[in-house]
Amino acid sequence: MSYEALLKLCRISNISIPKITKILPEYWSAKKAARLGAIERNNLYGNPGTPEGRSKGGSTTVRKFREDPEFAKMLGFKLRTPMNLPGYSSELAEFIGIMLGDGYIKSNKTQAGIAFNVETDYKHAIYIQGLIRRLFDLNSSIIYDKSDKGATVLISSRNLIDFLISIGLKTGDKVVNQVDIPDWVMHKKDYKVSCLRGLMDTDGSCYPYQHKVAGKIYSNFAICFTNHSLPLLKSAYRILKTSGFSPVMSRDNRIYLHKIEEIDTYFRKISSNNPKHLSKFKKFKNNS
Q: Decide if 129 contacts 112 (C-beta within 8 A).
A: no
Q: What one-character DSSP code corresponds to residue 77? A: -
pLDDT at 176: 92
Q: What is the mean pLDDT of the chain?
A: 85
Termini Cα distance of the chain: 106
Beta bridge partners of 240: none
- The residue extents of the domains of the chain are 90-287
- Inter-CA distances, 63 with 39, 41, 48, 56, 67, Å: 22, 17, 17, 11, 6
Given the candidates 3.30.300.30, 3.90.10.10, 2.40.50.1070, 3.10.28.10, the CATH classification of the domain at 90-287 is 3.10.28.10
pLDDT at 212: 76
State how far Cα 265 lies from the chain centre: 33
pLDDT in tens, 174-219: 999 999 999 999 999 999 999 999 999 999 999 998 877 777 887 8
Task: Inform me whether the pLDDT recorded for 66 exceeds 70.
Answer: no
Task: Inform me whether the pLDDT recorded for 284 exceeds 80.
Answer: yes
Residue 132 to residue 112: CA distance in whole angstroms: 11
- 27 pLDDT band, cuts 50/70/90, is low
What φ, ψ does residue 154 adopt, rounded to 5°?
Answer: -115, 130
User: CB atoms < 10 A from the CB of 88, how many?
Assistant: 15
Residue 109 to residue 13: CA distance in whole angstroms: 76
Task: Inform me whether the pLDDT recorded for 228 exceeds 90.
Answer: yes
User: pTM here?
Assistant: 0.72
